[in-house]
Amino acid sequence: MAESSGEPSAGKPSVLFVCVHNAGRSQMAAAWLTHLAGDRVEVRSAGSNPGDAVNPAAVEAMAEVGIDISAATPKILTVDDVRESDVCITMGCGDTCPVFPGKRYLDWQLADPAGRGVAAVRPIRDEIKTLVEDLIAEIVPEDKA
């Protein structure tokens, strides 16, 4: 089989999380994947219309589980982000991801935490964790050397 260009580094899966503002869901998902998979996965997040800052309720909800996303900043989605990722996961931004052959696309139906307090964000955070755990089981090889 021919290797495609834009392929991520040596066998390490690459995941891109996309939501509209890159301020809540995609930031929490990227943080969970980094926290749970460590360096076994390359993680990116971006937004189709990025906000000015990460949602403070998302920062607080993640801090409650020991994950600090306070330094994260929303980033604009680029074609290269998608090209360089094996799996592209959208969260409420419809068809904003460019489609490339050979990539896996998923759409996670999650409530938008924008403008909501931490009590409303906690269940979203926990649902994202479950989805990320399932994703890790699918894409990360089980070599526990």
Q: Which positions are catalytic?
A: 19, 93, 97
> What is the tens place of the pLDDT at every residue in 49-93?
999 999 999 999 999 999 999 999 999 999 999 999 999 999 977
Question: According to the model, what pLDDT value does residue 72 have?
Answer: 98
Distance linking the first and last C-alpha atoms of the chain: 28
Question: According to the model, what pLDDT value does residue 8 have?
Answer: 43
Q: Catalogue all structural domains in the chain, each as residue range(s) with its CATH number.
A: 14-138 (3.40.50.2300)
Output the pTM of the full model: 0.88
Q: List alpha helices for the chain, DSSP H.
A: 25-37, 56-63, 79-83, 118-139
pLDDT level of residue 102 (50, 70, 90 thresholds)? confident
Burial category of 10 from C-beta neighbours within 10 Å (exposed 0-12, middle 13-18, buried 19 and up)? exposed
pLDDT level of residue 2 (50, 70, 90 thresholds)? very low
Angle at 47 between CA 46 and CA 52, to 5 degrees: 105
